[in-house]
A = this chain, B = another copy of it.
Amino acid sequence: MNIPSILPFTHTLIEQVAGPGDLVVDATMGNGHDTLFLARLVGSTGKVLAYDVQQEALENTRKRLKEAHCLSQVQLLHKGHETVEEELNCHDQPLSAAMFNLGYLPGSDKTVVTKPETTLTALHTLARYLKPGGLITLVIYSGHAEGKLERDILLAELGQWDQKQYHVLKYQFINQQNNPPFLVAIEKR
């Protein structure tokens, strides 16, 4: 495939802005794939703040990071991403990147889903701490009913963000069945 699919394109963007020693956030730890990706990018001198409300996500992610010898640079936080300011507040460096994978934890309880109010609270805080040129990526799943609502609320809100302060890109395959995920990427100018 010559057109990058959603996840590789997301990673390519993040790789441009996050490097050794940087501060980054995984807002939705899930099974820890992005947490590990970020941990490798920032290296042992960097810091990943990783959030999830489900204990299972923390356990899966801790195991994955330990096996890859990347646990030391990650703070695993068993709480919602809407509280991210509590940690950002304690660091004296700006944020390089933050990643969201919205929806539910794959392979787990599908009734525990991200919610537009808390997603938006986290987004506003992260945007405030983001360095110029820094990125926030949201991979949006809308196959479940709450996902459609979250998608619509987020797109309506992000479409209003001031273009002098942020670039907001939507990257979406438009001829796929069954509500496949799409990417929204936000860059601070």
- Chain A residues near B (Cβ < 8 Å): 1-3, 13, 16-17, 133, 135, 155, 158-163, 166-177, 184-185, 187, 189
Contacts and interface: CB of A to CB of B under 8 A. Distances in A.
Contacts of A1: 133, 167, 187, 189
A175 B170 CA distance: 10
Contacts of A185: 3
Contacts of A169: 3, 171-174
Contacts of A155: 174
Contacts of A163: 173, 175-177
A167 B172 CA distance: 10
Given A2-B16, A2-B17, A3-B13, 14 more contacts: A1-B167, A2-B13, A2-B133, A2-B135, A3-B135, A3-B169, A159-B174, A162-B175, A169-B171, A169-B172, A170-B171, A170-B174, A171-B171, A174-B184
A187 B133 contact: no
Nearest to A17: B2
Nearest to A182: B170
Contacts of A166: 175
Given A13-B2, A187-B3, A168 B159 contact: no
Contacts of A158: 174-175
A168 B160 contact: no
Which of A171, A173, A175 has most chain B Cβ within 10 Å?
A175
A174 to B, nearest CB: 5
Nearest to A6: B169
A133 B1 CA distance: 7
Contact of A161 (B133, B162, B167, B175): B175
20 contacts: A1-B133, A1-B187, A1-B189, A2-B17, A2-B133, A2-B135, A3-B13, A3-B167, A3-B185, A155-B174, A163-B175, A163-B176, A166-B175, A167-B175, A168-B173, A170-B171, A170-B173, A170-B174, A171-B171, A174-B184
